[in-house]
């Protein structure tokens, strides 16, 4: 996967808070039966309704590394979450290029082994986060699904990513988690052909206008394909990382 400032699949940044939205179209009538699968356009519509929270002290501000049992992995933190990454992962340095999803910068917290291929540099896994405002009428679960799709497309941009998003599931202790599977063309052997992307989302505050301030965490990693070394990760490892995420300071 690439980690950096990827172009937004929307072609424009997320709508700022307070910007007036166009009136939604009335839903088309459907005959009773199986519920339709959400379209990619639906995910993009949800994502563009979510704006970055630009409040002092709310955005991600670097990282800190806690000292602990090396067999248990490495504890890393951001302004919103603390989590454990496996040995061999490293905290992202201050000023690392963000992963841009629908115009919203997700600041890297930690990453797995990286490797050069052709004229590029890639990493087997990354963790990044952002604080967003989810407007009235959009649930945190819907926002998590939209960002799971967008994160998969951003992390594997240039490799024709095809992203399948699963349903949201509740997390122990609060919040929700969404898993997406990404399949790519492999980019000539430089990129993974399959990956897992997880989004952890937790509401934190409710504003006077009814919007919800939510903390989002993206955990993404290669699970198949790419060069022989470093080896790809496993889905279980990525799910394990997500399971350790908890509110910073808790």
Model confidence pLDDT, tens digit, residues 184-228: 999 999 999 999 999 999 999 888 888 899 999 999 999 999 999
Neighbours of 228 (CB within 10 A): 6
pLDDT at 70 over 50: no
42 is a domain residue: no
Peptide bond into 230 cis (omega under 30): yes
34 alpha carbon, distance to own chain's centre:
29
pLDDT at 61 over 70: no
26 is a domain residue: no
128 is a domain residue: yes
* DSSP helix/strand/coil, 143: helix
Range of the domain at 220: 47-247
Digit-coded pLDDT (tens) for 153-182: 999 999 999 999 999 999 988 899 999 999
pLDDT computed for residue 22 by the predictor: 44
With beta carbons less than 8 A apart as the criterion, state whether 213 and 244 touch: no
Q: What's the pTM?
A: 0.76
Q: Rounded CA gap, 222 and 45, in Å?
A: 27
17 is a domain residue: no
139 is a domain residue: yes
Place of tokens 């563009």: 48
195 is a domain residue: yes
- How many domains in the chain? 1
Digit-coded pLDDT (tens) for 5-26: 443 332 223 333 344 444 444 3
56 is a domain residue: yes
178 is a domain residue: yes
Digit-coded pLDDT (tens) for 19-47: 444 444 433 323 333 334 455 555 555 55
Across-strand partners of 76? Answer: 65, 83
Contacts of 210 (CB under 8 A, 6+ apart): 135, 136
Q: Rounded CA gap, 63 and 77, in Å?
A: 5
With beta carbons less than 8 A apart as the criterion, state whether 44 and 102 touch: yes
Q: Rounded CA gap, 48 and 142, in Å?
A: 12
Domain CATH for 200: 3.40.1000
């Amino acid at each position: 996967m690439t980690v950096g400032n990827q172009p937004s699949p929307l072609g424009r940044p997320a709508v700022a808070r307070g910007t007036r939205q166009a009136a939604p179209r009335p839903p088309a009538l459907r005959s009773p039966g199986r519920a339709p699968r959400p379209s990619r356009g639906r995910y993009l519509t949800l994502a563009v309704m979510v704006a970055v929270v630009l409040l002092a002290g709310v955005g991600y501000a670097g990282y800190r590394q806690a000292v602990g049992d090396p067999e248990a992995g490495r504890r890393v933190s951001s302004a919103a979450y603390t989590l454990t990454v496996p040995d061999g992962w490293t905290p992202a340095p201050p000023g690392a290029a963000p992963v841009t999803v629908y115009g919203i910068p997700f600041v890297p917290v930690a990453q797995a082994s990286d490797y050069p291929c052709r004229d590029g540099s890639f990493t087997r896994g990354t963790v990044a986060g952002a604080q967003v405002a989810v407007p009235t009428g959009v649930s945190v679960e819907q926002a998590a699904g939209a960002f799971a799709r967008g994160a998969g497309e951003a992390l594997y941009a240039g490799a024709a990513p095809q992203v399948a998003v699963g349903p949201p599931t509740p997390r122990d202790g609060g919040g929700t988690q969404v898993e997406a599977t990404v399949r790519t063309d492999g980019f000539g052997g430089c990129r993974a052909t399959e990956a897992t992307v997880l989004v952890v989302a937790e509401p934190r505050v409710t504003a006077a206008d009814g919007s919800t301030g939510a903390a989002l965490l993206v955990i993404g990693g290669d699970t198949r394909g790419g060069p022989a070394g470093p080896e790809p990760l496993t889905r279980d490892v990525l799910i394990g990382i997500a399971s350790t995420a908890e509110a910073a300071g808790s």
